[in-house]
Structure 1
């Protein structure tokens, strides 16, 4: 038996792993945003069809796919806004519902006081980035 004890082998241990600081995963560098090509004329209203075509061209997808994406996005935004959340849309701004209190107003023709009921309204607040672009650096 003594002989068996002498032959007893020890299990090899795996080499201890060095403890290193966890590497931070950085987001893959996004390719530079390609310029959006628009064919709008100043002062003209852009139709939904023209907007969808621009989105499709920008993303390189079919117009029907762009329509599905845009409609899905707007449905989600509407759902959040209707629940009372403020929805920030990139560097464009924020959409929200604002409550308006009941107040007294005047009939402009007769001048008599009129009660105005409390109401809600859809509001948009532009971002500082968008404001700077619109103002042109003033």
Structure 2
């Protein structure tokens, strides 16, 4: 499902217009991104948890030259599925 399909599904289930659903989805995604950028986790009941996970720098190898290089540390987004969503997917 892509963003357009998600907006269409939101409109069918909520009775809102596609424009309103698109604005709501964009606002929600922006709020999640902003919160993660500030280092805060985002918990959505019955859906899951978004959080940042730091991966420290490590040594890697350039596949073309075989030269060792350092891969910089970085934050990655982690998602942990809520039990309610997990149960629904198993049904």
TM-score tier after normalising by the smaller chain length = 0.7 to 0.9
Q: Look up the SS of the partner of 1:73 in the other structure.
A: helix
Greater share of residues in helix = 2
Partner of 1:16: none
Count of residues in Structure 1 that have an aligned counterpart in Structure 2: 91
Are 1:132 and 2:87 an aligned pair?
Answer: yes
Report the equivalent of 2:49: 94
Cα offset for 1:59?
0.9
Q: Partner residue of 2:20?
A: 65
Deviation at 1:73, TM superposition (A): 1.4
- Work out which of the residue numbers 20, 25, 36 in structure 2 matches 1:81: 36
Query: CA RMSD of the aligned region, Å?
Result: 2.1
Q: Which residue of 2 aligns with 1:121?
A: 76
- TM (norm. structure 1) is 0.56
Q: Which has the larger radius of gyration?
A: 1
**Contiguous gaps of at least 5 residues in structure 1:** 1-45
For residues 69-105 of structure 1, what are the alpha-carbon distances to aligned partners after superposition, in whole Å with 9 as ceiling and x for unaligned? 1111111111111100000122121112211111223
CA positional deviation for 1:114? 3.3
Mapped to 1, the partners of 2:60 and 2:32 lie a distance apart of 33
